Structure 1
Amino acid sequence: MTRVTRKHNLTHAAGTASPTSSPMVRQTNLSLVLRHLRDHVSQSRADIAEVTGLHRATVSNLVSELLDRRLVREIGTEHVGAIGRPRRPLALHGAHVGALGLEINVDYISVHGSDLGGRVLVERRVGFDAIAGGPDRALRVLSRVALEAVEAMKRAEAVPAGLGVAVPGLVDVARGVVTFAPNLGWHDLPLAARLSAALGPWSVPVSVDNDANLAAVAEHTSGVAAGTPHLVYLTGEVGVGGGIFVDGKLLRGADGFAGEVGHLPVDPEGARCGCGRYGCWETKVGLAALVRTVMPGHAYQPADLPVSDPEERATEIARGLAAGDRRMMDAVAQVGRWLGLGGSILANLFNPRAIVVGGYFATLAEWLLPHAQAELERLVVARSANQCRFIASDLGFGAASRGAASMVVNRLIDHPTMIINPLPRLLAN
């Protein structure tokens, strides 16, 4: 698991000797220690005290509780200098605490399950036509895939203490409601509540968020541009969404709907978009648009056709490009120019250092990104914005489910005293 060093915002009274001045302060300090260990491979108690400003006795007390909760572990000893007691390095543990992330998109469901320390326990993607059966069938399949993942994680003696779901659309995160997912045809769907009910006895918090936001979290945490404070992530799916980091924080906007970059109007005379408008950016650069041009027999449309994984379609196009297929090369070059045009708008608005592209954009990066980069550099206004680079993600089509699991881990680390071991109860089921 990639570790990224960050500065912590200390919310405790530095140097306070009493570790139990209040339950909230104690939870804050437990979380502080866990976050520090998450961002470093290993640290001693003295190292943690020095970096956080907590009194050594306080750190020792906090570590004892985290050891009892099996959330950290000692990993041997190290000697510093010729004299003094040896230090016992600590590392994040929590092998019994799982986090499960799911993504449902137009033609697949992806799964990523890990433990608190980042050990990957389950990772898969299954083809599924999310449009044909409507939200009811999608929920049934989603719950079945989730329960299958839980069983796989139980076999590794870790059970998820939370579930995150990524959806390509507008999401009211606080209520867990998908307000509008144009490419799925969903409106005002209470996904968190309905999925929680469908999961039956496995009663854990269920959260829902936009797929691009969650993929951006994964990229910012462990991707090719990890730790970059000013970052834009673009999904390369049937539609196109964006996740935006400004000063190291995910930008959500007033209502939580920031990042709907696929619906930037770029061509008033363009094709009709799934949102009902015309000439949106995703009608120019989405996978559906490219497939319609170069593989018209496999175009996305409501029909009783076999579901093809988007990675399979992208790989087939890549084979054609490698073979020198002129029609494909011209189509991809055109998509690249439109990608660069939209990227220049984002560069002018947010001044990011990197625009990380995922999905099929990453699969076709070799042919796509040179055109996109040239167009971006031609159209940006500020000279410094020329430092912004398109970069291909290496997280594949599972970035959003990975990000969903990361968000679950973040919430668990924020509230470590709420973590219980669910394994005995669920093993009995």
Structure 2
Amino acid sequence: MTQGEENFTRLTRGGVQPAGHSSLRRANLSLVLRHLRNHGSSSRADIAEATGLHRATVSNLMAELLDRRLVREVGIEHAGAVGRPRRAVALDGSHIGVLGLEINVDYVAVHGTDLGGRVLVERRVGFDAMGSGPNQSLRELGRVARTAIDELVLAGTRPAGIGVGVPGLVDVGHGVVALAPNLGWHDVPLASWLSIALGNLGVPVTVDNDANLAALAEYTAGVAAGTPDMVYLTGEVGVGGGIIVDGRLLRGADGFSGEVGHLPVDPGGHRCGCGRNGCWETKVGLAALVRMATPDQAYGLGAVPVLGPEERVAEIACGLAEGDPLMIAAVAEVGRWLGLGGSILVNLFNPRVIVVGGYFATLAQWLLPFAQAELEHLVVAGPAARCRFVASDLGFGAASLGAANVVINQLIDDPLAIGSAPSVRPAHSSPGPDRPLIDPDLISP
């Protein structure tokens, strides 16, 4: 397993030490589960040696985890040519499901797994969230969530947690989207709404910034997994950043760090969704590239059907491969601006790598040479900074994957809470088309 998986807990857990028998038991159960998640199957003796727990303690913990169906025995391991055979165990939890969701400008994504990481649901649905307003967008998010929950239930898993990624400023503690400029959202209580809409589940809902979640996914299992100092950039209509410093996600005093797309780089430039002019995302966001490369399909023209980012980028990639001069010039322009903004991040945070996702990754072979050259030209430390752009291999689903991983880690942090949620039937009784999913008074105009 990667160093990122080893250190993931550092990014998502607090530093409170357990107190009392119940808390100590919870912490020890979590320690065993996390070891199995990071290292795969192990014998009880190996777990005791790796965790520092007494063998008798591990045996007692294992009995409880087996009873809760969170681990399973997978066979016999032999400790060399001499020695007693050891019965190995592995993380199970095939009956426990989690959902990671993302709502963005032009799509809703979902990533559903069981506790062991088996992928059960994976899709993106084209949807014009930018032009739909919060009520309709939240209705669509609820519809996608309910459909995915049905699939988890039919696969034999019981949903135990939901994570949602949103492109904007998020009050993580309260699950409120304070501001999502490109969606037109202000003070939307997303966690409480989704909990109410899916109330028969009785499971926690976590909301976070999409770039932060994607950065966590990259740190755990991406192309630069385990790199202690890195920046992740979303390549969407909006551009966000997840910043990891010394192996920890940088959130800032109020949890609003990473809004790199709103770095002011050209005061005389295009108007941004945030209301200001010349933000970085107006130069490098997907909307900027589409406007230059395929102006007849620019965002805001009301194209029907709604094109997802992959369809838009696929057309541009075909044009680049065929040598279309307009598209080549557009990508070169975006690449240079990407390098300029990247140099600001390198000067501020000195990361070892800038991982680019979304459309940046899809067009990496054309885009990144321009970006890297500009970055190296503008970074104050020059070659000493040793930072490079690399393309993510997680695709447009990085945020929903990260959201699911955060939920899994929350469950592993508290194994005693797993199994307390009520059972769920497929959602044939979910709110119908004439029943509002959200009270409009919950959302500020």
Whole-angstrom distance in 2 between the partners of 1:81 and 1:408: 38
Q: CA deviation at 1:21?
A: 6.1
Is 1:319 the counterpart of 2:318? The answer is: yes
Which runs of structure 2 are paired with 1:86-165 in the superposition (5 Å)? 86-165=85-164
Partner SS state of residue 78, structure 1: strand
Partner SS state of residue 426, structure 1: coil
Match of 1:332 in 2: 331
Whole-angstrom distance in 2 between the partners of 1:219 and 1:212: 10
Partner SS state of residue 42, structure 2: coil
Which runs of structure 2 are paired with 1:240-255 in the superposition (5 Å)? 240-255=239-254
Q: CA deviation at 1:119?
A: 0.4
User: Gapped runs of 5+ residues in structure 1?
Assistant: 14-19
Which runs of structure 2 are paired with 1:373-392 in the superposition (5 Å)? 373-383=372-382, 385-392=384-391
Whole-angstrom distance in 1 between the partners of 2:384 and 2:299: 36
TM-score relative to the length of structure 1: 0.94
Whole-angstrom distance in 1 between the partners of 2:278 and 2:342: 16
Whole-angstrom distance in 2 between the partners of 1:317 and 1:81: 56
Is 1:187 the counterpart of 2:175? The answer is: no
TM-score relative to the length of structure 2: 0.91
The residue type paired with residue 6 of structure 2 is R
| Residues 201 and 421 in structure 2, CA contact (< 8 A), matched pair in contact too | no
Q: CA deviation at 1:12?
A: 11
| Residues 99 and 112 in structure 2, CA contact (< 8 A), matched pair in contact too | yes
Tell me the C-alpha RMSD between the 2 structures: 2.3
User: Gapped runs of 5+ residues in structure 2?
Assistant: 429-445
Whole-angstrom distance in 1 between the partners of 2:176 and 2:26: 29
Deviations 1:166-217 (A, max 9, x none): 1000000111111100000000111111111112412211111101001111
| Residues 78 and 85 in structure 2, CA contact (< 8 A), matched pair in contact too | yes
The residue type paired with residue 365 of structure 2 is E
Which runs of structure 2 are paired with 1:27-426 in the superposition (5 Å)? 27-301=26-300, 303=302, 305-383=304-382, 385-420=384-419, 422=421, 424-426=423-425
Whole-angstrom distance in 1 between the partners of 2:2 and 2:253: 32
Q: CA deviation at 1:159?
A: 2.1
Partner SS state of residue 201, structure 1: coil
Whole-angstrom distance in 2 between the partners of 1:424 and 1:160: 9
Whole-angstrom distance in 2 between the partners of 1:136 and 1:359: 26
| Residues 161 and 204 in structure 1, CA contact (< 8 A), matched pair in contact too | yes
Q: CA deviation at 1:425?
A: 4.5
Which runs of structure 2 are paired with 1:20-31 in the superposition (5 Å)? 22-31=21-30
Q: CA deviation at 1:89?
A: 1.8
| Residues 347 and 385 in structure 1, CA contact (< 8 A), matched pair in contact too | no
Q: How many residues align?
A: 424
Whole-angstrom distance in 2 between the partners of 1:232 and 1:157: 37
Q: 1:12 to 1:284 in 2, by over 3 A?
A: closer
Q: 1:289 to 1:253 in 2, by over 3 A?
A: same
Q: 1:67 to 1:384 in 2, by over 3 A?
A: farther
Whole-angstrom distance in 2 between the partners of 1:427 and 1:273: 42
Q: CA deviation at 1:389?
A: 1.3
Whole-angstrom distance in 2 between the partners of 1:427 and 1:301: 37
Whole-angstrom distance in 2 between the partners of 1:280 and 1:36: 43
Q: CA deviation at 1:424?
A: 4.4
Q: 1:96 to 1:423 in 2, by over 3 A?
A: farther
| Residues 201 and 423 in structure 2, CA contact (< 8 A), matched pair in contact too | no
Partner SS state of residue 202, structure 1: coil
Deviations 1:266-316 (A, max 9, x none): 112211111111111001000001101111111111636431011110110
